[in-house]
Amino acid sequence: MLDSLNQKDGGKLPKTLSRNGSLIVSSIYDWTSGFFPGTLWFLYAQSGDSFWQAQAHRFTKLLNPVKDFYGHHDVGFIIMSSFGNGYRITGDSSYASVIVTAAHSLAKRFNPTVGAIQSWDVDKGWQRERGWKFPVIIDNVMNLELFFEATAISGDSTFYQMAVSHADVTLRNHFRTDYSCYHVVDYEPADGSVRTRQTAQGHSDSSSWARGQAWALYRYTMCYARTGLTRYLEQAKHIASFIINHPRLPEDKVPYWDFDSPDIPDTYRDASSAAIISSALLQLAGFVDAADAERYQTAARVILDNLSAEPYLAEPKKNSGFLLKHSVGSIPHGNEIDVPLSYADYYYLEALLRDVETTK
């Protein structure tokens, strides 16, 4: 993959493959741009090889301008997967400075009346066509780690307070009684009331989009790790049970792209959701009693065993360097269907490293 990137625009990051198998790259402002640098940091952390450290720093440095960007909510995804991992692994103070600056940028999207970060702007494109005023997607909880880390670095509790507010508003409004979640909740910015609950990437407004469930599990686990607030731990446990015990979760525990797709079993699996779920379950296992920990670790390892073999794991020197096959970006938009994705690889490697830590 490094060789492929060296033959392309040096300021781009790998994202996926086209239908003909050629590498598709993204700008630094695409929500996926931090995952390749993060993957390189994982390789360095595991190997100790200075080559990977140099490559990780090289691609992380490309993303420096994102610290001043607030055109969408995904600043947290971009910065924490790249600079966040770099800071965690090396302690480089220049990375810490970027994290705090980026948190200030993301804070511009926080509405104190709603108590949440606005996900998308609504003045153009398909978002405008939906008639939304203040859309918040379940994915947005993933950006809260940027706020928690900025408080840890700077001591400024404002970021922490915004993160907790967003997590609480999402917990209150995004979840159904079975702990599945809506993809999009649109708010009235003037008074914070809920206008609609819909989807953009799931099968329907009432369905359970698999990656949405994965994001929710992953970040409520993280919110507990960062705050110690038991409501987040309980929420993560409920979401985990929804996923693990779902009657339409296949035996290999690699979910269909939506748990309620009418085409099951003749529809697409999503390796990216599986990777995120496995990583989240392994972290969650560290916060619960022995019985639940064993249940979560067992499920995570079933996922990892299956992702680490055909048909999901690519053969060496194929798949343009991506590790995993068979992920889904957005079926309703016709984008990235049954292809490798940079974030599938990222969370797969993270899960493998977490599994190594639990077995030491």
Written as one letter, the residue type at 118 is Q
Question: How far is residue 247's CA from residue 178's CA, in Å, rounded to a whole number?
Answer: 13
Query: Is the torsion defined by CA of 344, 350, 352, 358 positive or negative?
Result: negative
Tokens 């190594």, residue located = 356
Q: What is 189-239 written as a DSSP string?
A: TTT--EEEEE-SSSSSTTS-BHHHHHHHHHHHHHHHHHH--HHHHHHHHHH
Strands 194-198 and 13-17: unpaired
* 258 noted as active-site residue: no
Tell me which of 30, 74, 186, 345 is the catalytic residue.
74
Rounded-to-integer distance, Cα 227 and Cα 238, Å: 18
Task: Indicate if 139 belongs to the active site.
Answer: yes
Catalytic residue among 139, 186, 258, 345: 139
**Alpha carbon 292 to its chain's center:** 23
Burial, 329: exposed, middle or buried (Cβ in 10 Å; 0-12, 13-18, 19+)? buried
Catalytic residues: 74, 139
